[in-house]
Structure 1
Amino acid sequence: METRLRRSTAALIGVLAVGAALAVGHLVAAFVGIGASPYLAVANSTVDLSPPWLTEFGKQFGPEWDKRLLFIGIAVVIAGLAVAAGLLSRKSAMPGTVLAVALGVVSVVAVLSRPDLGQLAILAPLAAALAGIGVFQWLHGLAAREQADDVEAGVTRRRFLITSGGVAAGVGVAALGGQFAGSRVDVQASRRAVGPIVPAERAPAIPAGADFARAGTPSFLTSNADFYRIDTALTVPKVRAEDWSLRVHGLVDTELELDFADIAGRRLVEKIVTMTCVSNEVGGPLISTAAFVGVPMRELLMEAGVRPEAGQVFATSVDGWTTATPVADMLSEERGALLAIGMNGEPLPQEHGFPARVVVPGLYGYVSATKWVVDLELIRDGEKTFYWQDRGWAKEARIKTQSRVDAPRAFQDVPAGKVTVAGIAWAQTTGIERVEVRVDGGEWRRAELAPEVTDQAWRMWKLVVELPAGNHRAEVRATDRSGYTQTEDRVPPIPDGATGWHSVSFTAS
């Protein structure tokens, strides 16, 4: 009599087998490179292969939720495939085995495509595939025998259930073991050991009234916890200061190999810089300001000796992410690019690039702000393409003059009468000359500007208007020191930054 597994039993076998594969792969990856974990490798490949519109859609959920949604989505797909593998194998283990092999091949390809993993990393997906196939065939054979016994002799399914429970427990232990082993790099202890980052040259003091926070603007300096984060790292790289090094090479006279002590022991300078993500929609939140401390990039490049034919600095992160910045912007004394190791008086937070990152004022982050940087190669202009350029973004992206209404908030109900409209404007390295506001399509009125701290940072503005009860709409536009007034024309972020006037609708009552 042909044995046909119960649907619930078949589905459970598929889920346990896939769970075993992922757990064993994660455990092995903890020793050969955590990015080789099949789940993470597939997730990273998904990010790399996603079309730009999908990537931009995900960014709107914020730096944490876009990654959580990706993880959840991949988990749902994997769970569905696991159940399908089980249900297709009710008569024979072969369909599930074939699907397991196919998933193993996908994992191997994903790992091999990662630029930050060595050759040994392939051990993780191979171990995962062997574990998944082995568990699947073992449980399938056991269930088939027990179910046949049930039919012929009424034997209970106790042994299969006990074995399944043991497999589930083993999956949990392997997964936790991999997570524990993969977390053995204590980045926070390394940050604490670095201690306060004290610059030899401090940034100009921030004057009183540099923000209108009481009127609804952000505080002038953004706390490290609130500083926006956009990157492709699904798991934040863990690099200790004592393990980090930076290579400067390519079209230079002298190749440099620098460790953290080399950088920290140099003359450090502090600069207040507003950073902006190119993905920021008109009025969006992907903009923050911090006091960064580091070594002027100009000094490092001059020490290496930049050859005349060098046009770009090709930067690589520890996780393989790349970008390219014009050499002229790196060398500009006025712009003052930094190899930063400090942020708001402390070592860089792990999620913002510890131990070191690049900060180039006036350029959108995707061409100016490599976190966890480990390699700077001087190349000819256009000799290489970088991560976001390969996905349709512009080769160069200078920050566009923009402004935003922060108060009143969209659809907020405020008391009628005197209403304070307030917000921020930015034109990094050029500076803001004036900000104008109009309400309900009326005349443009010049807003009050907060004192300027530096032309490399945002500037706050506010305007008090008298409004009757009813629905209202406030619009803002900024003019920079070059005389350019931002355009009304709405352009999406891709390929080199959004444009348009920001407006907010609210109610006075």
Structure 2
Amino acid sequence: MQLPKGRAIAVAVVSLLAALGVGHLVAGLVEPSSSPFVAVGNWVRDISPHAVVEWAKDTFGTADKLVLFIGVTVVVLGLTVLAGLLSRTRPTPGLIVAAAQGVIACVAVLTRPDLGQLGITAPVASTVVGLVVFRWLHGKAWPAEEDREGRRAFLRAGAGVVIGAGATAVVGQLVGNRVDVEQSRAEVGRLVPASPAPKLPTGADFASSGSPRFITSNRDFYRIDTALTLPRVSAQDWRLRIHGLVDETVEFTFADIRDRALIERPVTLACVSNEVGGGLISNADWIGVPLRDLLVEAGVKPGADQLFSTSIDGFTAGTPVDALLDPNRGAMLAIGMNGEPLPQEHGFPARMVVPGLYGYVSATKWVVDMELTTFADKQGYWIPRGWSAKAPIKTQSRIDNPRDGATLPRDGATLPRGRATIAGVAWAQTIGIEKVEVGVDDTWYEADLSTEVDVNTWRMWRVSVDLKSGSRRIQVRATDKSGYTQTDALAEPAPDGATGWHTITVNVA
């Protein structure tokens, strides 16, 4: 005799829910990221081949984390359904599949660098509960075949487990969220820099012509990181340790940093994954302290060429020490962004901001550890995955108005007297933009530049040109203050940043 397929699958799925609920509760008590589902998601992300990771980023953009969770959910449910179907006559095959899932969750937790020894208790508890419930429900399912009361008893048992699993998961989430990040941010209060950012001059952007605004709002600032769930760290509990090849190991609390003479500087950050013409670049006023000062206090020993920074969630990055010690570059340990404490998604309580280097080697969020070491001895998270160890931002430019594929009517208002304004942004952090040229069907025009605010920020441009009726190709290229004009050779972002001229096509009526 066999269990019906639906009932066998129900046994497995309900057991999975019980396992995940208990695992989430235990994780909330010990370490939220040890929750089996979250841990497996992190593990899948970390072991995925470089080509798969890049395909996901190219295909799904900033939704790649959601897609990862959906993918993990589909696989886990698929294995769970298989466990149920294999157990229609006896529970042993399903128990083996469920145990294998538990082992994977344990491996996922054990391989996480940010989880302590207690982290393993979450997947272990999850596995034990899942196996016990599976065996118990499987026994309840057999009488259900024979009489109506048995079926009712099975349904009551399954419903009770589902309700209990849901309640347990909710309690686990509440416990895991016991660190109130927004309350901690509020307690930090207003950040008043001793050296504020310069007042924006007239003409700092050409937003009226379609360029971005000079300062990107916190809400609109791009976000790229490896965190599947945002770390929850209070300012009161945060510590930063600087050690390794230093004269003296030093540790700072948030109060130690906040009580210093804070500086505020505009800095443009860019992601190495940004395609030509892409939007993974933003500009903000950052508030913090010079990283150089902290490193000088620790005393950097000769031979240390890499600062190996670690986030609270285990992400690591390697930054060239000479960039951090350069007083003209202005590398910061930032605690504020656009006049307020860092938002949680942008690294609260503290993060690194290093002008002129792509974020994967320089912009560690939720940073808690900095080790002075060498590039020969350690590699940051993205280096074994195919990215270059040192990543200076490349001179680039982008067309923001008009959009690719737009149709421009010649109605006397949109294009008065047949002329159109083309606008965008260019960047060459630490060097500065000298010139921007716009090509319309191979005829090049020099654009007007916005008022320069700082060489560490982007610079807007615009030009008014005559666009004849028909399909028109528009390109842009920038020249930085070193005299370098960006190449037209197209290159993908990997391994050290995309190159090429941003090119669009518009239709003029």
TM-score, structure 2 length as denominator? 0.97
State the SS of the aligned residue for 2:443. Answer: coil
Determine whether 1:410 maps to 2:401: no
The one-letter amino acid paired with 2:424 is G
Root-mean-square deviation over aligned CA pairs: 1.2
Residue 487 (structure 2) aligns with: 487
* 1:324-339 correspondence runs (5 A): 324-339=318-333
- 8 A Cα contact 2:290 2:330, kept in partner: yes
State the SS of the aligned residue for 2:405. Answer: coil
Worse overlay, 176-185 or 413-422: 413-422
Residue 70 (structure 1) aligns with: 68
Distance 1:108 1:360 in 2: 37
Distance 1:325 1:189 in 2: 32
Residue 423 (structure 1) aligns with: 424
Worse overlay, 466-475 or 58-67: 58-67
- Structure 2 counterpart of 1:375, from 364, 369, 374: 369
- 8 A Cα contact 1:63 1:230, kept in partner: no
* 1:82-481 correspondence runs (5 A): 82-147=80-145, 149-150=146-147, 157-416=151-410, 417-440=418-441, 442-481=442-481
The one-letter amino acid paired with 1:69 is V
In structure 2, list runs of 5 or more residues that go unmatched. Answer: 411-417
In structure 1, list runs of 5 or more residues that go unmatched. Answer: none
Worse overlay, 57-66 or 126-135: 57-66
Residue 13 (structure 2) aligns with: 15
Measured against aligned partners, the alpha-carbon deviations of 1:43-85 in whole angstroms (never above 9, x if no partner) come to: 0011111122222233346675211111111111111111111
Distance 2:477 2:375 in 1: 35
Distance 2:472 2:83 in 1: 58
Distance 1:194 1:62 in 2: 36
Distance 2:190 2:149 in 1: 69
- 8 A Cα contact 1:116 1:319, kept in partner: yes
- 8 A Cα contact 1:52 1:391, kept in partner: yes
The one-letter amino acid paired with 1:159 is A
Residue 50 (structure 2) aligns with: 52
Distance 1:317 1:105 in 2: 26
State the SS of the aligned residue for 2:102. Answer: helix
- 8 A Cα contact 1:59 1:230, kept in partner: no
Cα distance change of structure 1 residues 116 and 63 upon mapping to structure 2, 3 Å threshold: farther
State the SS of the aligned residue for 2:436. Answer: strand
For residue 155 of structure 1, report the CA deviation from its aligned partner.
5.1
- 8 A Cα contact 2:215 2:283, kept in partner: yes
The one-letter amino acid paired with 1:253 is D
Measured against aligned partners, the alpha-carbon deviations of 1:316-346 in whole angstroms (never above 9, x if no partner) come to: 1111111111111000011010011010000
For residue 476 of structure 1, report the CA deviation from its aligned partner.
0.3
Measured against aligned partners, the alpha-carbon deviations of 1:141-181 in whole angstroms (never above 9, x if no partner) come to: 1111331x33xxx6551111111111111111111111111
For residue 231 of structure 1, report the CA deviation from its aligned partner.
0.3
State the SS of the aligned residue for 1:98. Answer: helix
- 8 A Cα contact 1:12 1:86, kept in partner: yes
Worse overlay, 407-416 or 85-94: 407-416
- 8 A Cα contact 1:63 1:229, kept in partner: no
Measured against aligned partners, the alpha-carbon deviations of 1:200-230 in whole angstroms (never above 9, x if no partner) come to: 0112221111111111111000000100000
Distance 1:229 1:74 in 2: 22
- 8 A Cα contact 2:490 2:498, kept in partner: yes
Determine whether 1:37 maps to 2:38: no
State the SS of the aligned residue for 1:471. Answer: strand
The one-letter amino acid paired with 1:453 is V
State the SS of the aligned residue for 2:356. Answer: coil
Distance 2:508 2:168 in 1: 59
Measured against aligned partners, the alpha-carbon deviations of 1:271-308 in whole angstroms (never above 9, x if no partner) come to: 11000000001111100000001110111111111111
Distance 2:203 2:493 in 1: 32
Measured against aligned partners, the alpha-carbon deviations of 1:8-41 in whole angstroms (never above 9, x if no partner) come to: 1011111111111111111100011011100000
Distance 1:476 1:17 in 2: 58
- 8 A Cα contact 1:187 1:239, kept in partner: yes
Distance 1:198 1:64 in 2: 33
Distance 1:406 1:50 in 2: 34
For residue 380 of structure 1, report the CA deviation from its aligned partner.
2.8
Worse overlay, 198-207 or 370-379: 198-207
Residue 415 (structure 2) aligns with: none
Measured against aligned partners, the alpha-carbon deviations of 1:248-287 in whole angstroms (never above 9, x if no partner) come to: 1111112111000000000111111000000001111100
Worse overlay, 408-417 or 231-240: 408-417
- 8 A Cα contact 1:26 1:34, kept in partner: yes
Task: Using the aligned pairs only, state the percent identity.
Answer: 56
State the SS of the aligned residue for 2:273. Answer: coil
Distance 1:170 1:371 in 2: 36
